[in-house]
Amino acid sequence: MTIKVGDKIPAGMFTMMGAEGPTGISTSEIFDGKKVVLFAVPGAFTPTCSVSHLPGFVVHVDDIKAKGVDTVACMSVNDVFVVDAWGKASNAEHLLMLADGNADFTTAIGLTFDGTGFGMGTRSQRFAMVVDNGVVSLLNVDQAALEGSSAEAILAAL
């Protein structure tokens, strides 16, 4: 079942790079009591994700936070080392870079896609959501091109 507006974010874990190396962070730590923009990409270092999707949020993170958002987080179904390297290479230090290495969270919210034809395995669809205190208040899932999940689309919706 695909998550929808009004649904609570399921309990789960992500991995992020901490000062001492890889560390877990729970969905409750990220979403409880906060307003969060979470956007997901099919893969770190992939063309659209690296040229348009992530850079849009890097450029607009302050504008988004000025609309009352506490955290802007980027999630990818990659290992934490790749996600961390991609964040550093993209100047994304003001974003929370989250690895969903085994696609557990992506599967739990019903937004996977099969990328085996590209040698990528199970990945996340490209989407962005606004989450208010753990409840989805906006969900934009792109069907083809980068559209509703762009930083500009989210900023306009806030």
Q: How many domains does the chain have?
A: 1
Q: Is residue 116 part of a domain?
A: yes
**What is the spatial distance between Cα 152 and Cα 98, in angstroms, rounded to a whole number?**
21
List the CATH number of the domain containing 25. Answer: 3.40.30.10
Q: What is the CA radius of gyration of the chain?
A: 14
Q: What is the pLDDT of residue 120?
A: 85
> Residue 83 gets which letter from DSSP?
H
Q: Is residue 28 part of a domain?
A: yes
Sole residue written with tokens 């509703």 = 148
Residues 11-64: tens digit of each pLDDT: 999 999 999 999 999 999 999 999 999 999 998 988 777 778 899 999 999 999
Residues 92-128: tens digit of each pLDDT: 999 999 999 999 999 999 999 998 888 888 999 999 9
Residue type, 15: T
In the residue annotation, 49 being an active-site residue is answered as yes
- Selecting among 49, 92, 96, 97, the annotated active-site residue is 49
Q: Is residue 2 part of a domain?
A: no
Q: Is residue 7 part of a domain?
A: no
Residues 75-94: tens digit of each pLDDT: 999 999 999 999 999 999 99
> What is the Cα 147 distance to its own chain's centre?
15
Domain hosting residue 125, numbered range: 13-157
Nearest CA among 42, 57, 47 for reference residue 120 = 42
